[in-house]
Amino acid sequence: MHAGKLILRKDKLIFHRIGTWYACEHLGCEVKGYMGVKTFFGGIHPKYAKELTAASPIEVLQAPETVVVPMVQHIGAPAVPTVKKGDEVLAGQVIGEAPQPVSAPVHAPVSGKVAAVTDRPHVNGRSVLSVVIENDGQNRWVSLDPHPDPVQLSREEIIARIRAAGIVGMGGAGFPTAVKLTPPKNAVIHVLLINGSECEPYLTADHRLMLEYAEDLILGAKLLAKACGAKKIIIGVEDNKVDAVAELKKHAGAIEIVLLDTKYPQGGEKQLIKAVTGREVPSNGLPFQAGVVVQNVATAVAVAQAVRDGRPLVERVVTVTGSAVRQPRNFLVPIGTPLQYLVEAAGGFTEEPGKVIVGGPMMGLPQYGLEAAVTKTVNGLLALSRAEAVVPEPMPCIKCARCVDVCPAYLLPLRLEAFGMHEMWDDAKDYGALDCIECGCCTYICPSKRPLLQYIRVAKNQIIAASRKQSS
């Protein structure tokens, strides 16, 4: 077994590992990791709790009676509804169209009748214009346009199909994929990097996708590489998912698979690029300026299904987990499935949860209730017990500098926090507040339990608002 061999080699070289770990974590060297396992400088090792769901195969969840499809499921302009109350819709039919290039169309995940086009609670905490569809249970689809040999399609055709399918980055940010694949004319993309790190604790949706949809994933990667002109494809996977690596290797062919150290935020775009290619994305720049395009594994699978089968993005895998969930597991669910429905499918709560989070515990969005619905970027639903959810009382900063040692952007979070608290926006900008990736490592590690990231966010918002004011 390939997976077993990898684990064995790591343990045998424990002293080598300790030495490299020391060099990486303590001397501040940017060592490339141990035994070919790559990593970045900084980061944390939180409790992963992935064992709750790592072994549970993706279950197809029957569509609920009512789905709520928000028009905001991506970065950029909201989609504009193309249906009205009372309309009959087919599954896969466009119900919201993109008003401008940086946006994405939205499709009906089920067939049925439009019950309302109205504001509904969104996972981001706001109310967002949504199309509510009453599922008729018939699962009648629009006629799709499959292609028998998708790799023969031209670059433009692939991008057009991705755009039409409404595919956005499914790792969390939701940047429209078609836009990401069309960098400025003079940019040269050397590497397409498929992000299979899934560094957020608890989540296993991407892990299961790599295990169960490896073939689709590889096809998606090839199509994405053709679309952005990358000669080389690299898939990065954290070394807590060696079974996924073994599975991917069966189908990979010329695609390189890189083992990454299990460390948060290994899947952060900038950290992943640094770990795998050794290059850095310029400050205030985008990955293509380092010659790289990064796509999440779920996105790659969706791309394969869109280009080969003509299927729009209307479903995704969601990990439903946490200590307050009775039967944590992975579901393949239609977009628009209410969170309440997911919790019931996982056996309900074992106790009243203290906090419900959409996404992972490091960067996820806290929820007011379970009324919001799954969007294209929802990769997990996490319910923490009341004891786990208590927000600790902050104490004075003792300058222990653990936040400095873990910051993957090499910032001084304790200074930025102080600048944010005392409204010293110019100093915050000078100390690189805008380079903060909001991973939350500083707040996680702080022994005085200070809300560092919160104040850095305030500073960032103020700096951005001030620069907008100046330019207008």
| Segment 259 to 288, residues that bind another protein, using CB under 8 A | 270, 274, 279-285
Binding of another protein at residue 102 (CB under 8 A)?
no
Contacts of 441 (CB under 8 A, 6+ apart): 42, 43, 44, 264, 265, 403, 406, 407, 408
**361, 372, 379, 420: which one binds another protein (CB under 8 A):** 361
**Beta carbons of 247 and 269 less than 8 angstroms apart:** no
List the interface residues with another protein, window 24-83 (CB under 8 A): 26, 28, 44, 46-47
Shortest Å distance, C-beta 395 to another protein:
5
Binding of another protein at residue 389 (CB under 8 A)?
yes
User: How many positions of this chain bind another protein (CB under 8 A)?
Assistant: 76
List the interface residues with another protein, window 128-157 (CB under 8 A): none
Binding of another protein at residue 14 (CB under 8 A)?
no
Alpha-carbon torsion (446, 452, 454, 456), positive or negative? negative
Q: Which is nearer to another protein, 309 or 438 (CB)?
A: 438
The token duo for 220 is: 């998606």
**Beta carbons of 347 and 331 less than 8 angstroms apart:** no
Please list the residues that pair with 420 across neighbouring strands.
none
List the interface residues with another protein, window 405-464 (CB under 8 A): 405, 408-412, 414, 431-432, 435, 438, 440, 443-449, 451, 453-454, 457
**159, 362, 374, 378: which one binds another protein (CB under 8 A):** 362
Q: Which is nearer to another protein, 14 or 144 (CB)?
A: 14
Alpha-carbon torsion (293, 295, 300, 303), positive or negative? negative
* Distance of alpha carbon 358 from alpha carbon 343, whole angstroms: 12
Block residue for tokens 């049925």: 112
Shortest Å distance, C-beta 312 to another protein:
30
Q: Which is nearer to another protein, 26 or 469 (CB)?
A: 26
φ/ψ bin of 42: left (φ > 0), alpha (ψ from -120 to 50), beta (otherwise): left
Instruction: Tell me which stretch binds another protein (CB under 8 A): 8-16, 55-63, 254-262, 381-389.
Output: 381-389
Sequence-ordered alpha helix ranges (H) in 253-366: 269-277, 297-309, 339-345
List the interface residues with another protein, window 394-413 (CB under 8 A): 395-402, 404-405, 408-412
**97, 354, 427, 463: which one binds another protein (CB under 8 A):** 354
